[in-house]
Amino acid sequence: MTEENKAPSPVMDRPPRPAGEGGRPGGDRPRFGAGAGRSGPGGPPREGARKFFRRKKVCKFCTEKIADINYKDYRLLGQFVAESGKIVPRRLTGVCSPHQHRLAVAIKQARNIALLPFAGRVQ
Amino acid sequence: MNRTYELMFIVRPDMADEDLDKLISNLESTVTSASGAVKSVERMGKRRLAYMVRKFREGVYILLTVEGAGSVVHELERRLRVTEPVIKFLTVRIDEEQKRLEKIKKLRESRKKMSAQPAAGADEAPLTPAAETTATA
């Protein structure tokens, strides 16, 4: 309810901003503050608006300390390949950027040597 | 310039064992004649392929670890391409990766030692090891 009441006002306030920029940016800010308060730590305000609580994803390779991401380890790589054969994006798996990079390279090598499919399931 | 390469190749599943032995020993001799060294040969056995390759659904995987210059790999790949029963191959340079892994291993070991030693001895240290153990745990 509070969001609906608050949301239109900044939009309406936005046009006069270029003319008198003194107070208006400050008027915007409470909205962000309220958003953060609603969701709590660990999630952007948009997710906080929903009912369920989303767990913070962590990188499997960092937590389990898997240093070697090898193309021969197709069982490990298979966890990060979708049913269709696609590499799962890290926004879904929670893998960190450096590990996702190694992972992608390894998956591509594994595909080349027919350990993983380019498309579809292993028959 | 010595580098380590990993050469994985797949031969057709209906190939006889003797022929495979011959093929591998042939490859080994090409490596040594090109002033390289074979570090290991690993037969990973028959495995189902993830997709069809030259109308085969399964193949025999072989892993060859070779040390030498790039010319060795060049010659090996040329041979594999010409050899009819080989249906697929992949060469990966692994020395850089091995170096990286060793570095990580060393780092982890030294951290372990660091967190183990000061806890037993010095009295001005207790702050740091405590922080480290929580970080590593």
Which class is B3-93 in CATH?
alpha beta
State mean pLDDT over B86-104.
90
Residues 59-78 of B with CB under 8 A from A: 59, 63
At residue B89, the pLDDT reads 93
Q: Which residues of chain A have pLDDT under 70?
A: 1-52, 121-123
Model pLDDT, residue A111: 92
Pick the CATH number of A60-112 from 3.30.420.10, 2.20.25.240, 3.90.180.10, 4.10.640.10: 4.10.640.10
List chain B residues with CB under 8 Å of A115.
Answer: 50
CB nearest to B50's CB, from A65, A109, A114:
A114
Query: Is the ipTM, as predicted for this complex, more than 0.95?
Result: no
Report pLDDT digits (tens) over B18-71.
Answer: 898 999 998 899 889 888 888 889 988 899 998 888 988 999 999 999 999 888
Query: HEC string of chain B?
Result: CCEEEEEEEEECCCCCHHHHHHHHHHHHHHHHHCCCEEEEEEEEEEEEEEEEECCEEEEEEEEEEEEECHHHHHHHHHHHHHCCCEEEEEEEECHHHHHHHHHHHHHHHHHHHHHHHHHHCCCCCCHHHHHHHHHHC
Task: Extract the tokens encoding A79.
Answer: 């966890």
The reply to whether A67 touches chain B by the CB within 8 Å rule is yes
Q: B24-42: b or e for each residue (b if 16 or more CB lie within 10 Å)?
A: beebbebbeebebebeeee
pLDDT at A12: 42
Q: Where are the domains of chain A?
A: 2-48, 60-112
- Whether pLDDT at B116 is above 90: no
Task: Work out the minimum CA distance from B36 to partner chain A, whole angstroms.
Answer: 24
If you average pLDDT over every residue of chain B, what do you get? 83
Least confident range of A76-90, A100-114, B76-90, B108-122: B108-122
| Alpha carbons A84 and B84: distance in angstroms, whole number | 32
B-chain residues within 8 Å CB-CB of A123?
Answer: 48, 57
Residue-range domain boundaries for chain B: 3-93, 98-136
Q: What is the pLDDT of residue A105?
A: 92
- Of B53 and B137, the structure prediction assigns the larger pLDDT to B53
Q: What is the mean pLDDT of residues B105-130?
A: 68
**The two structure tokens encoding residue A60:** 């499997």
